[in-house]
Chain A
Amino acid sequence: KQEVTQIPAALSVPEGENLVLNCSFTDSAIYNLQWFRQDPGKGLTSLLLIQSSQREQTSGRLNASLDKSSGRSTLYIAASQPGDSATYLCAAYYGQNFVFGPGTRLSVLP
C-alpha cells in the first residue's frame, strides 16, 4: 500500500532559525513529489514540485530535496519568520493518484 508519513507532526521554533521538515513514502515509483502549505481553515497552496528525475528545487527561502532510493523528501526553510507558521503537507504523485502525508504543523515564534 502506498503511504506517506511526515515527521515531526508539530514543530515550534524561534524566529530566524533554519529548519527541516521530513516526508517519507513507501513506494518509490513516484512521478513527482509536491509540497504544500495550508493555513488554518484554508485550502492548500503549492510551494514546490520536484520531478522524479530531479534532486532538488528552490523557491526563495525554501529548498526541497528528493531521494527516491531512500523514499524521502525534505523541505528546508531558511531564516524562518512568523509568517511561515502553517501546516506543511507533502504529496507523492503516482501517475493516477496523489497520496498525501498527514502534515507538519509549524509555529515560528517572534
Chain B
Amino acid sequence: DVKVTQSSRYLVKRTGEKVFLECVQDMDHENMFWYRQDPGLGLRLIYFSYDVKMKEKGDIPEGYSVSREKKERFSLILESASTNQTSMYLCASSPPGGIPYNEQFFGPGTRLTVL
C-alpha cells in the first residue's frame, strides 16, 4: 500500500515564525502536492511538484514556498507565519501526470494553528 506520511499531526506556531511542514511518500511517485483545507472553502492547491527540484504554483501560493530535493520528500515552508495560515494542510502523491490510471494518495494531514 502507498504510504504518505506528514511530520506532525498538530503544530502550534507564533506569528512571524518560519514553519516547515514535511511530507514523505514511499511509492516512488513523481507527483507530489500540498493543499490546505478550510471550512466552506474545500481543498485548495498551494503548490505541486512533478519531479525533483521542479515546482509549480497552485491556486493559492502566496505566503508559501516549497522544496523538493529528493523524490520521496516534499516540504512546504511558511516563511513568516500569519494567523490567516491557520488551517489543515494535506499532502498527496500520485504517479506521473497524463496517465489515465492516475490516483492520488493523501497523508493524514497537519493541523497548523498560528497564534
B111 in contact (CB, < 8 A): yes
CB-contact partner of A41 in B92, B100, B102, B109, under 8 A: B109
Mark contacts of B20-46 with chain A using CB atoms, 8 A cut-off: 1 yes-contact digit, 0 otherwise: 000000000000010000001011010
What residue in chain A is nearest B59 (Cβ atoms)? A97
Query: Are B108 and A31 in contact, CB atoms less than 8 angstroms apart?
Result: no
Query: Are B45 and A97 in contact, CB atoms less than 8 angstroms apart?
Result: yes
Contact partners of A88 in chain B: CB under 8 A: none
Query: Are A32 and B100 in contact, CB atoms less than 8 angstroms apart?
Result: yes
Interface residues of B in 57-115 (CB under 8 A from A): 58, 88, 90, 92, 97-98, 100-109, 111
Query: Are A51 and B106 in contact, CB atoms less than 8 angstroms apart?
Result: no
What residue in chain A is nearest B9 (Cβ atoms)? A41
State A44–B4 Cα separation when bound (angstroms).
Answer: 11
A71 in contact (CB, < 8 A): no
Contact partners of A51 in chain B: CB under 8 A: 100-101
Query: Are B97 and A96 in contact, CB atoms less than 8 angstroms apart?
Result: yes
Query: Are B104 and A43 in contact, CB atoms less than 8 angstroms apart?
Result: no
Mark contacts of A46-61 with chain B using CB atoms, 8 A cut-off: 1 yes-contact digit, 0 otherwise: 1001011100000000
State A32–B98 Cα separation when bound (angstroms).
Answer: 10
Interface size class of B (residues with CB under 8 A): 20 to 34
Query: Are A41 and B90 in contact, CB atoms less than 8 angstroms apart?
Result: no
Query: Are B100 and A52 in contact, CB atoms less than 8 angstroms apart?
Result: yes
Query: Are B106 and A100 in contact, CB atoms less than 8 angstroms apart?
Result: no
Query: Are A43 and B97 in contact, CB atoms less than 8 angstroms apart?
Result: no
Contact partners of B107 in chain A: CB under 8 A: 43
State A33–B23 Cα separation when bound (angstroms).
Answer: 24
State A28–B4 Cα separation when bound (angstroms).
Answer: 30
Query: Are B102 and A31 in contact, CB atoms less than 8 angstroms apart?
Result: yes
Given contacts A32-B100, A41-B111, A96-B97, A46 and B105 within 8 Å (CB-CB): yes
Query: Are A32 and B105 in contact, CB atoms less than 8 angstroms apart?
Result: no
Q: Other than A32-B101, A46-B103, A97-B45, give 18 A-B pairs with Cβ distance below 8 A.
A: A32-B102, A34-B103, A36-B106, A41-B111, A42-B108, A44-B90, A44-B92, A44-B106, A46-B105, A49-B101, A49-B103, A52-B100, A96-B97, A97-B48, A98-B45, A100-B42, A100-B43, A102-B42
